[in-house]
Structure 1
Amino acid sequence: MPTAREVFAGGLAVVTGAGAGIGAGLTRHLAGDLGMTVIAADVDAEAVHRIAGELGRHVVPHVVDVRDPDAVDRLARHVEEEFGPVRLLINNAGVEQFGYLWDVSPTNWQRVVEVNISGVFHGIRAFLPGMIAAGGRSHVLSLASIGAVTSLPLQAPYIMSKHAVLAMTECLHQEVAEVGADIVVSAVLPGLVESDIFRSAGGVESGDVAAAEEQRRTMLAIREQAISADEAAEAIVAQAARGEFYIVTHPELVHAAMAARAEQLVNRRPPAPHRSRFAAAEQARRRMRRQSR
């Protein structure tokens, strides 16, 4: 099996959402460990320039809002003109949302759709034609989530968006094969990875605000079980180099979720009330703390 260094070292990568979380971990790994030139794109100017400052000349920061198709088009044109063919495109930018679905505002719903779904589409539409035309082997990774193969209450907009990203990536895989392009398409399904996505997630302004904020607190509390963004990045890139389609950071957990989802569909069962294994573990710890007082 080829190694990440054999496949990617010295090439050109584009990473969206590169300023924090998994995106920052990927940027550090690609530029620092593999010596790739990384076009680091993020809507947060301070964050993306900070990581570029940490890593030096291998990282070229760009302030880009993936919700804006014209901005992503301009980025693609600039990259092609100034740096040449892209070997690795990672559509990573994403946001979270808490609250019962009927309490979520249209503005917050649209934010999730535009960043998590349309942002991936804009990246594919802007970069794929050039990658196909270049002719060499290249890779496209789109960040879904373990949520793409399961369901979860109080996070419906996010879960919906990750199901959409997975479906979009599966279709892209088929389309790339149909035109005979030498592009490896992969869907990334991380489990819990250190980031600020839960802290910066949207909430609700009316309705059951307390339920939304309790879900935020639950997810923040279980971050101690998360792996580091750098550890996740190394695992993701290694699997991409091997040409795997479903890339995971927590194999046991994600594979179990896939199996449960398949079994549910085969047996046509409605989704049961659900709490993640992470949340269940946290609730158990809380009960033990209360009993020890």
Structure 2
Amino acid sequence: MTAQDVFGGGVAVITGAGAGIGAGLARHAHRLGMTVVLADVDEEAIGTLRDELNADGGTAVCIPCDVRDSIAVQELADRAYAEVGPVRLLVNNAGVEQFGYLWDTPVANWNRVVEVNVSGVFHGIRAFLPKMIATPAPAWVWNLSSIGGVAVVPLQAPYIMSKHAVLALTECLQLEVQHAGFDHIHVQAVLPGAVVSNIFESAGGVDAHGGDTAAAESQRSAMLDIKAAAMDPIAAAEVVFDQAAEGRFYLLTQPDYVGSAMTERANVLASQRAPMLRTGRRFDPEAE
């Protein structure tokens, strides 16, 4: 079946839809004929995207939402079902970055990464899954991990940790849905490589008082260099939708590149090798 066959005509709710791969997923969902609910803390960004999609003959609504707030996410789910209709696709995409040595990372920045990248996914699942389960029609849940979810990278520990957590959460959720016998619920993990966005520019850094800001900003600069050759968000979204329609669990924007990182991670674990720096080589997390 094609992505059009599977998703066309349904409702998609996408968090972090204001930019990057979230906006790309929204635009491609629109191309497939989906009604798109755009959720983001940036109300102006999703308002602009809503107007773009509606002017192109689609149906899009925007609901400002901070995924760190469980009540706000529950309100997002309630409004989506009441005002738009049953949700065929939930995309837990909202995410933030952090640069710097772990011991220099401000507590507030650590909490921000955990609350957005990990708790935000949990809040989405808790708010939407009961409604999806109660609706007999097939429904899909995509959680955004990253190539960073199968790699280790210095000077980005909070982000990398969060994406490992999202991947494990999604794998466990897949088992729990099977265990509960909810055959109409499809859980999938999205692992993008580098995709164009502003996640690196808006990433947190370290406190200049006592923190190694030079190291943090050097890592930011390295990631911005990678962004220059990153994948277009709409092209990435098309790949993800096509793989999802094929029924894959791991959805990879760049199958060869991300797949090689998965293989390397598996080899490291199988051989029980200690992580080692590799001069001149970096794994880059996606730009969400």
TM-score normalized by structure 1? 0.92
1:200 paired residue number: 202
1:266, distance to aligned residue in structure 2 (A): 1.1
Q: Give runs of aligned pairs for residues 28-47 of structure 1, distance below 5 A.
A: 28-31=27-30, 33-47=31-45
TM-superposed CA distance for 1:274, in Å, is: 3.8
- Would you say the 8 A contact 2:95–2:117 is kept in 1? yes
Where does residue 74 of structure 1 map in the other structure? Answer: 75
Task: Map residues 57-68 of structure 1 onto 2, 5 A cutoff.
Answer: 57-68=58-69
Provide the residue aligned with 1:152 in structure 2. 153
2-structure distance, mates of 1:41, 1:279: 29
Cross-structure match for 1:22: 21
**Contact kept? 2:151, 2:283, Cα under 8 Å:** no
**Residue 193 of structure 1: CA displacement?**
0.3
Taking the aligned partners of 1:63 and 1:10, their CA distance within structure 2 comes to 23
What are the superposed Cα offsets for residues 213-259 of structure 1, whole Å, 9 maximum, x if unpaired? Answer: 01101110121221100100101111111111001011111111111
Relative to its length, the structure with more helix (as a share) is 1
Report the more deviating stretch, 173-182 or 155-164.
173-182
The 5 A counterparts of 1:268-283 are 268-274=272-278, 277=281
Given that residues 19 and 40 in structure 1 are in contact (C-alpha distance below 8 angstroms), is that contact kept between their aligned partners in structure 2?
yes
Q: 2:266 aligns with which of 250, 255, 262?
A: 262
Rounded to whole Å, the distance in 2 between the matches of 1:178 and 1:38 is 30
In the TM superposition, residue 80 of structure 1 has moved relative to its aligned partner by 1.5
Q: Quick one: distance in 2 between partners of 1:22 and 1:266?
A: 32
CA positional deviation for 1:202: 0.4
**Deviation string for 1:161-188 (max 9, x for gaps)?**
0000000000000011111111111000
SS of aligned partner of 1:235: helix
Listed as ranges, the matches of 1:244-255 within 5 Å are 244-255=248-259
AA in 1 matched with 2:194: L
SS of residue matched to 1:25:
helix
Q: Percent identity?
A: 58
* Equivalent AA in structure 2 for residue 89 of structure 1: L
Is 2:225 the partner of 1:227? no
Identify unmatched segments of 5+ residues in structure 2. Answer: none
Contact 2:98 2:159 in 1 (8 A): yes
3-state secondary structure, aligned to 1:157: helix
Shift of 1:78: 1.2
Structure 2: distance between partners of 1:53 and 1:205:
39
* Unaligned 5+ runs, structure 1: 281-293
For residue 8 of structure 2, what is the aligned residue in structure 1? 9
2-structure distance, mates of 1:262, 1:68: 35
Alpha-carbon distance in 2 for matches of 1:78, 1:53: 19
Letter in 2 for 1:253: Y
- 1:57-90 Cα shifts (integer Å, max 9, x gaps): 5110011000000000011111112222110000
CA contact (8 A) 1:153 1:274 kept: no
* Distance across 2 between alignment mates of 1:3 and 1:271: 40
Letter in 2 for 1:244: R
Query: Which runs of structure 1 show a deviation greater than 4 angstroms over 4 or more consecutive aligned residues?
Result: 275-280
Q: Secondary structure at the match of 2:87?
A: coil
Which residue of 2 is the match for residue 125 of structure 1?
126
Residue 51 (structure 1) aligns with: 49
TM-score (norm 2): 0.94
Change (3 A) 1:151 1:274: farther
In the alignment, which residue of structure 1 is the partner of 2:97? 96
**Number of residue pairs matched by the alignment:** 278
Match of 1:138 in 2: 139
**Letter matched to residue 97 of structure 1:** Q
* Native 8 Å contact 1:17 1:94 kept in 2: yes
Q: Does structure 1 conserve the Cα–Cα contact (< 8 Å) formed by 2:188 and 2:250? A: yes
CA RMSD of aligned residues (A): 1.3
